[in-house]
Structure 1
Amino acid sequence: MQLELSPQQLEIQLHARKFARELMAPVAPIHDREGSFPLELLREAHKQGFLTPLIPKQYGGSEIGCLGACIQAEELASACMGIYVSIFVSTLALYPIVRFGTQEQKQRFLKPFCQGFSLASYCLSEKDAGSDPSSMKTLALPRGDHYLLNGTKMWITNGGYADLYVVFATRDPALKHRGILALIVPSSLEGVKPGEPIDKMGQRASNTTPVTFKEVRVPVENLLGGEEEGFKKAMAALDVTRPIIASGAVGLARSAMELASSYASRRVQFGVPIAQHGAVQTMLADMGISVSAARLMVWRAAWLADKGLKNTKEAAEAKAFSADAAMKVTTDAVQIYGGMGYTKWHPVEKLMRDAKVIQIYEGTAQIMRRIVAREMVREHS
């Protein structure tokens, strides 16, 4: 694995950094404060290719690979994790089509998504089915030429704006994992109804809603893979997308580290900048260590994905470590700022609020450790 970025990867990094600094950063505090959705910014992000990093070029995508997407993610998330996750979630939704869709499905769904502005959402979680998707209640019953879809999905990013949903449902709850299938559901189908936006602690620029499916007739040709393969496909997709969201955590943590380092160099107590005090130096050093280690873990998991190698353990390790690092680094940044850090006068309190949910979505910190332990036992038994 090469640790030096290629010319193409450097170009990806600089492109994302320019977009983040010039377009995302100036509006991030406004959308955080208002809890508003940056629709026009998302349009521009789509135009610049940030919504299609894993879609092959033959369908109009950027096709920069998982590592390229991670490099891109760190830069975008450094400006605002809430805006970035709104960009990212279309990749989460569309990658299962890239990986498991038929040629007809790719032509019908990927090509139009790339050609004109569109958003997609990934519908797995429910109110009572989060870490345990096998307990989902959303039903997809076969009815000849269509599936009849009924149920409500929860915590759906871009839920109120998506043109396309990838929905995981069950044919029979008693079948648990074996009953789960995946359906591609256009938002235009009758019976699809997003709920009101959820007022969240952090990542407030992202639109998060429930989405209800009531007697929705989904054509059988929108079935993604086989009827008994839905759960496997959901998990396989997460092995590729988890490093990308973990890289977002790295970007967020990096911003907190940079802000804290700068503030500690300016803030004077006991006659010297607090950066000269040993206790603060230790905190800053731990921030740097965490950010560097998280980035390397992310890059390794992404490199394995791009090589087509199994990366389930590495993806879970990267997600768990990066999310925990982001929470610790942002909390310590607030501590270094002191009372100022606890106010909305400075950006570190937003970073701390934005960091928390990364330990929850795309697999909780506890589930990630469960996956790591399971894979370790398999490797050594």
Structure 2
Amino acid sequence: MAIDFTMSPEQRKIQKFAREFTENILAPVIPAADKEPDPMLAYQKTKGAYIEAYKAGIAMAMLPKQYGGAEMSCLDYVIACEEITSVDPGFACTCLCNGLGLMPVLWYGSDEQKKRFLGEATSDPTGTYLSAWTAGEPPGGTGGTANFDSPLPKAGIGMTAVKKGDRFIINGKKKWSSSAGWDGLGTNTQTAIIRTDSSVGGTEGLSAIVVERGTPGITWTFLDKEGHRTTSNAFVVFENAEVPVDNLLPGAAGNGDLVINRNFAWSGPVAAIAAVGVARAAYEDALKFLKSNTAGSLTPIIRFQNAGYIMGDVAAKIESARYFAWRAADYLDKHSQHAELIGAMCKINVTETMIDCVYKCMQIVGVNSLSTEYKFGKYLREASVLPIYDGGNMGMQRRRVHGIIADENFNPRAIMDDDFVKFDKSMEAIDTVADPLPRTRGIMEAAE
């Protein structure tokens, strides 16, 4: 059979290794980190586990062997991530964001940039190396993220980089950068999406530039969050920050918009499997509770029809969601890590379905699911993050799907046939232009 859902012996080893790391090294530090009110201290409580993950090759597993990485396939990476996210998706996000910061270098960087930045990322003797993905901007004004690909003048990303000699002078603000570093002074590198040509708006003139730690003119502030408290997100301000022109990724010059879409499609199956991991943990805890409690009846709760039916539905949804994540990851491996359509579809479908699964587990457990004695509150907080981060399902992912399927040349059987689905700039601007109805109404009123 060509279609086989059986893990290879090597994949079983990856799963076993990730599970042992999660249970023995990660799990003991998470309760205190998650409850820590200070976001920087919460993040720092996971540093020891991160160093172990780095030494074990987990933190840079997505990078090729020629640059010191483990060269783990997207499918293998997803298998490992499910084990880690079943205990804490925040920590898994810290590792994933190394990929969001460094994969653009692999895809769009020069040979020199790859050797330098990727080589440094995999050879840190301290085991603390972090890379960040810096694309989002704070709400308000003309800057922002959800409509970064609007074709309207002065719309979309507002951070600018002005070339001055052999330097870029960068000014602007970013929000939701994927890390502020262990000390709040920045990550070793961050890949930032910046407008290098301010004479055009929307998708035009966006580029990807690697910004290194210690660059003057940059300040970082930890963001306090409801979920994923064990990972860092930052508000970053650039004030006349000077970055070498050589740090611009040549393949991404003027194509920063395509970097955003490719990056968030690459991470789509990982976000999906994170949702599976959270829902799996909630399901297993709920099942244990239902089998050991009677709620005052003469039989365990699981013996009641409504509890059994709902838990059966939850189990089936988790199983199907896992296979969707595997399928999307497999597609990435087959198509040069391009999955702009199926990556988005997978993230949307799985992350939203898994929130329902977590809540269904809470409903069946009942009011006791609110007690801090159990972990259901954490599961719900973590699950709620997944559909709105990593390229929000409403703000970015659905629009990308819409743009692709609306194209005249789109083949609706392409994914089924495992064919490559092309994504280009012509598919980006859909849904981003404001409703023209008010202007139309004005014209009609004037005609009357």
TM-score norm. by structure 1 comes to: 0.95
Aligned equivalent of 1:291: 318
Conserved 8 A contact 1:246-1:319: yes
The one-letter amino acid paired with 1:261 is L
Aligned equivalent of 2:228: 203
Counterparts of 1:369 and 1:286, CA distance in 2:
26
Conserved 8 A contact 1:52-1:114: yes
Secondary structure, aligned partner of 1:193: strand
Aligned equivalent of 1:328: 356
Superposition map of 1:183-222 within 5 A = 183-195=209-221, 197-222=222-247
Aligned equivalent of 1:272: 299
Conserved 8 A contact 1:73-1:245: no
The one-letter amino acid paired with 2:290 is A
Aligned equivalent of 1:169: 194
Aligned equivalent of 1:114: 122
Counterparts of 1:141 and 1:125, CA distance in 2:
19
Aligned equivalent of 2:343: 315
Which has the larger Rg? Answer: 2
Secondary structure, aligned partner of 1:324: helix
The one-letter amino acid paired with 1:75 is E
Superposition map of 1:12-27 within 5 A = 12-27=14-29
Counterparts of 1:178 and 1:292, CA distance in 2:
42
Counterparts of 1:283 and 1:12, CA distance in 2:
32
How far did 1:183 drift? Answer: 0.3
Identity %: 28
Secondary structure, aligned partner of 2:61: coil
Superposition map of 1:99-138 within 5 A = 99-116=107-124, 117=127, 118-128=129-139, 129-134=144-149, 135-138=156-159
Conserved 8 A contact 2:75-2:333: yes
The alpha-carbon distance between structure 1 residues 16 and 217, as it changes in their structure 2 partners (threshold 3 A), is: same
Secondary structure, aligned partner of 1:127: coil
How far did 1:226 drift? Answer: 4.2
Q: Does 1:372 align with 2:401?
A: yes
CA offset digits 1:114-165 (Å, max 9, x no partner): 0112001100001121322241111111122121111111012222431111
Aligned equivalent of 1:144: 165
1:153 to 161, 164, 174: 174
Counterparts of 2:316 and 2:405, CA distance in 1:
25
How far did 1:2 drift? Answer: 3.4
The one-letter amino acid paired with 2:276 is V
Structure 2 gap segments, 5+ residues each:
150-155, 413-448
CA offset digits 1:238-276 (Å, max 9, x no partner): 222211222111111111111111111111132111111
The size of the alignment, in residue pairs, is: 380
The one-letter amino acid paired with 1:56 is P
Aligned equivalent of 2:206: 180
Conserved 8 A contact 2:108-2:252: no
Which structure carries more helix by proportion? 1
Conserved 8 A contact 1:83-1:205: yes
The one-letter amino acid paired with 1:372 is V
CA offset digits 1:16-45 (Å, max 9, x no partner): 111111111122111110041111211111
The alpha-carbon distance between structure 1 residues 40 and 252, as it changes in their structure 2 partners (threshold 3 A), is: same
Conserved 8 A contact 1:139-1:149: yes
- Where does structure 1 differ by over 3 angstroms across 4 or more consecutive aligned residues? none
RMSD: 1.6
Counterparts of 1:336 and 1:68, CA distance in 2:
34
Aligned equivalent of 1:9: 11
Counterparts of 1:77 and 1:370, CA distance in 2:
27
How far did 1:89 drift? Answer: 0.9
Secondary structure, aligned partner of 1:312: coil
Which is worse superposed, 295-304 or 231-240? 231-240
Aligned equivalent of 2:278: 252
Conserved 8 A contact 1:45-1:51: yes
Secondary structure, aligned partner of 1:25: helix
Counterparts of 1:103 and 1:71, CA distance in 2:
30
Secondary structure, aligned partner of 2:201: helix
CA offset digits 1:275-318 (Å, max 9, x no partner): 11111112211211221111111111111110126532211111
Aligned equivalent of 2:416: none
Which is worse superposed, 240-249 or 74-83? 240-249
Which is worse superposed, 73-82 or 281-290? 281-290
TM-score norm. by structure 2 comes to: 0.82
Aligned equivalent of 1:80: 88
Structure 1 gap segments, 5+ residues each:
none
The alpha-carbon distance between structure 1 residues 375 and 2, as it changes in their structure 2 partners (threshold 3 A), is: farther
Secondary structure, aligned partner of 1:152: strand
Counterparts of 2:371 and 2:245, CA distance in 1:
53
How far did 1:182 drift? Answer: 0.5
How far did 1:232 drift? Answer: 1.1
Secondary structure, aligned partner of 1:182: strand
CA offset digits 1:17-76 (Å, max 9, x no partner): 111111111221111100411112111111111111221101110101111111111111
Conserved 8 A contact 1:181-1:229: yes
The one-letter amino acid paired with 1:12 is I
How far did 1:380 drift? Answer: 4.7
Which is worse superposed, 217-226 or 298-307? 217-226
The one-letter amino acid paired with 1:218 is V
The alpha-carbon distance between structure 1 residues 201 and 336, as it changes in their structure 2 partners (threshold 3 A), is: same
Secondary structure, aligned partner of 1:303: helix
